[in-house]
Structure formats: C-alpha cells, structure tokens
Amino acid sequence: MIISRILGRDGNLVGFAKVTRDLTHRRALDEERIARAALEQSLAEQKKIDELREQLIGIVGHDLRSPLSSVVVGAELMLKRGMLHDADAKVTARIARSAERMAKIISQLLDFTRSRLGGGMRVEPRETDLAEICAQVIAEVETVHPDRALSFEPDSDVRGVWDRERLAQVVSNLVGNAIAHGKADGAVSVVLRDEGDSVTLFVHNEGPAIPAEVLPAIFEPFHRQARRTSRNNDGLGLGLFICRELVAAHGGEISVQSTDGAGTTFTVRLPRTA
C-alpha cells in the first residue's frame, strides 16, 4: 500500500491518495522459486553422495580383485603340481573356491558400478556362435556339479554379432541360478532357438515356483528374496540385475515365468546384431 499527499494550487494539503497492490501472487512465486531451488540443491547433493558411494565401490572392487587373482592362481598351481598331501590339497582347494567366489562378488560390484555410473553396460560385439558359448559354460558347470543333470538343445544357426564374454556371463549366471534354486535332483535344460532376425535362449529348472510377489522385482539389484531362497547364498543379489543390463546392452529382453507345476524358465531374446 502506498499513501501520497495531494496538494492544492496554493500548496496546501487538500487530501491523501492511497494505492493498494495485491502482492499475494508475487509472494507465491517467490516461495515457489525458493522451494524449487532448495529441491534442486537437495537432489544435487543426493546425486553427489550416490556417485561417491558407487565410485568407492568401484575403487574397492578394483583394488581387491588383483590380490584375489593371485590367490586363485597360486592355489590352482599348487593343486596341479600334485605335491600336496590329501589334507593340504583339500584345504588348498577350499581356499581356491573361496577366492573364486569372492572374485565373482567383486566383479558383480564392478559391473553394478559401471551400469549406474556409465549409463549402462559396455559391450564389444563381434560375430560369434551362441551355441559354442553355451556349450563351454555347461561344460564348466558340469565340472563343478557332476551330479546334476544338464541338457543342451541348440538349433543349427544361432550365430550373431554379440560380446562373447558378456553373453557367457549371462548364460553362466542363469545356469548357476537354475542349479542353486532348482530341486537338488531336478534337471536343468538350456535351449537355443533360431527365430530369424533373433535368437532365443531358454534356461529351465524343475522345482518350487518363485513367489508371485517376488517376480516383479526379481531383476532388481541386491534382491534379498533371491538370496534367501538359494542353497548357495554366496552372492549379493546382483546376478539377475547384471543379466538384465547385459541383455539390454545387446538390444535384447529377458523375462521369467515360474509355476509350481512347470518349474522356472528364464527367457532371453537377442537380436542377431547388438
């Protein structure tokens, strides 16, 4: 409100004039601007905290992986030379397995950090045969689990332009997951289908269904339900998340179906060219 004097021609005061302005809208705009600035500052600070945390995970993972690799190589070398007594050989084999599990966890942490900080997983596609990748992974799994029944059924043409190492990681995670969560005496099957411009991978295991309330979040990082239902609780709940990110990096899709009668099937659809 502004009040002004009104003077006559002779200079004498004859009255007052009042001008009133409604500042409610201006105050509302000022308050909105202040609130927006506070929110932006809070989001920026939270983003910085998240980046620092994930950078720390990456640094720790990198620094731990090198000495663990030395432990694994040293233990395997001692076992191959056959110079250890039975008791010492068992202890050394246990050391090697433990170090390998820890190395796997560290690799998952590094992949998780890269996916969050780098805008997705990096892949290096080149022409490769998915049947060869699956056969190699299955052979490795059979060495570790000789008592488990694994079957492999590939179509004749399942070649494409993909990152061989990364797809091996996907297949290994899915087959390992099928063994960990399926019935101890149940079969695990791996099937590859030629679908023209794409190839589809099916990994199936027999056993109890994944609870319906768990399925929507099964591919999320640090998924605790997956860890609780596994007989081999050595992971962080990152395996399926990493599978999803790697499949997405190839332009593909991953899904899961699970029922008590039919078991659980993970399906990966990959375009021929990533």
Q: Mapped to the 3 state alphabet, what secondary structure does the chain carry?
A: CEEEEEECCCCCEEEEEEECCCCHHHHHHHHHHHHHHHHHHHHHHHHHHHHHHHHHHHHHHHHHHHHHHHHHHHHHHHHHHCCCCHHHHHHHHHHHHHHHHHHHHHHHHHHHHHHHHCCCCCCCCEEEEHHHHHHHHHHHHHHHCCCCCEEEEECCCCEEEECHHHHHHHHHHHHHHHHHHCCCCCCEEEEEEECCCEEEEEEEECCCCCCCCCHHHCCCCCCHHHHHCCCCCCCCCCHHHHHHHHHHHCCCEEEEEEECCCEEEEEEEEECEC
As a whole number, mean pLDDT of residues 148-154 equals: 94
As a whole number, mean pLDDT of residues 178-194 equals: 93
CB neighbours of residue 72 within 10 Å: 17
Considering the chain, what is the average pLDDT of its residues? 84
In this structure, are residues 267 and 200 in contact, taking their beta carbons and an 8 Å threshold? yes
Q: How far apart are CA 205 and CA 266, in angstroms?
A: 9
Q: Quick check: do 26-117 and 126-271 share a fold?
A: no
As a whole number, mean pLDDT of residues 188-207 equals: 96
The least confident of 6-20, 58-72, 119-133, 220-234 is 220-234
Domain 26-117 has CATH 1.10.3130.10: no
Q: Two tokens at 16?
A: 């007052």
Q: Is 61 a residue whose pLDDT tops 70?
A: no
Phi, psi of 167 (to 5 degrees): -70, -35
Q: How confident is the model at residue 175 (pLDDT cuts 50, 70, 90)?
A: very high
pLDDT at 127: 96
Q: pLDDT above 90 covers what percent of the chain?
A: 35
pLDDT at 143: 81
Instruction: Read off the pLDDT of residues 93-132 as tens digits, 9 standing for 90 and up.
Output: 888 878 887 887 788 777 877 777 666 788 999 999 999 9
The least confident of 129-133, 186-190, 216-220, 221-225 is 221-225
In this structure, are residues 188 and 205 in contact, taking their beta carbons and an 8 Å threshold? yes
Instruction: Read off the pLDDT of residues 30-47 as tens digits, 9 standing for 90 and up.
Output: 888 888 888 888 888 888
pLDDT at 118: 62
Q: Two tokens at 44?
A: 């920026």
pLDDT at 77: 86
The least confident of 75-89, 109-123, 126-140, 182-196 is 109-123
Q: How confident is the model at residue 4 (pLDDT cuts 50, 70, 90)?
A: confident
Q: Is 271 a residue whose pLDDT tops 80?
A: yes
Q: Is 234 a residue whose pLDDT tops 60?
A: no
pLDDT at 228: 47
Q: Two tokens at 265?
A: 């099937």
Q: List 257's β-bridge partners, or say none.
A: 265
Domain 126-271 has CATH 3.30.565.10: yes
